[in-house]
Amino acid sequence: MSAITHHTPDAMLAAYAAGSLPQPYAVVVATHISMCMECRASFEAHQAVGGTMLDATPATDLSDELKINVFALLDAPVTPQPVFQKSGVYPGPVMELLEGQPPRWTKLGVGIRQNIISSNSSGSVRLLYIPPGQAVPDHSHNGLELTLVLQGSFSDDTGWFGVGDLEIADEHLEHTPTADAGPPCICLAATDAQLRFSTFLPRLLQPLFRI
């Protein structure tokens, strides 16, 4: 794997460490951290700072009712959650959302496929499969889009993105991501709003494909 050159911004790592990052973006950041030692170290540093601040916070007495509720939760039976490991090109955080199963691809046309992993009021998380040489239709954004490369690579006006690289696109960016030669480009993408496609056919099919 080539060196990762496009990283998670520090402010986003801090928000993820604080637990304040919206779920769709948190999935992508967690996956990036699992692939990038540099960002993992930064994330752990933010966690350490948060722990230090918590230790320095003055203690507050708890009400008897709250204590009873907390002890009841501690006494409740706990069902261990499965721990998902990396499978193929899919890191552990992705396999967790896929519940250990391979992606269920839906065809979007011209060889491009997607698998919507989750979708709710805070946004959506999906896998994208783009054949070599194929381009995602030209589009801009109504919000923020994070795209993490899991296999292959793609290029657009902002540069080249290989395995482990994270592209962050906002409403100011209009681009046509194109998969490079080699293996198909597989990406993990999170958005908080629908894309804005430049041409008629993608706009017509947009409600069907939920992208």
In the chain, where are the structural domains located?
Answer: 1-211
pLDDT number for residue 154: 97
pLDDT number for residue 120: 87
The segments of the chain whose pLDDT lies below 70 read 1-2, 50-62, 67, 70-83, 200-210
Q: Which pLDDT tens digit goes with each residue over 158-174? A: 999 999 999 999 999 99
Q: Which pLDDT tens digit goes with each residue over 101-114? A: 999 999 988 899 99
CATH number of 1-211: 2.60.120.10
3-state secondary structure the chain: CCCCCCCCCHHHHHHHHHCCCCHHHHHHHHHHHHHCHHHHHHHHHHHHHHHHHHHHCCCCCCCHHHHHHHHHHHHCCCCCCCCCCCECCECHHHHHHCCCCCCCCEEEECCEEEEEEEEECCEEEEEEEECCCCECCCEEECCCEEEEEEECCEEECCEEECCCCEEEECCCCCECCEECCCCCEEEEEEECCCEEECCHHHHHHHHHHCC
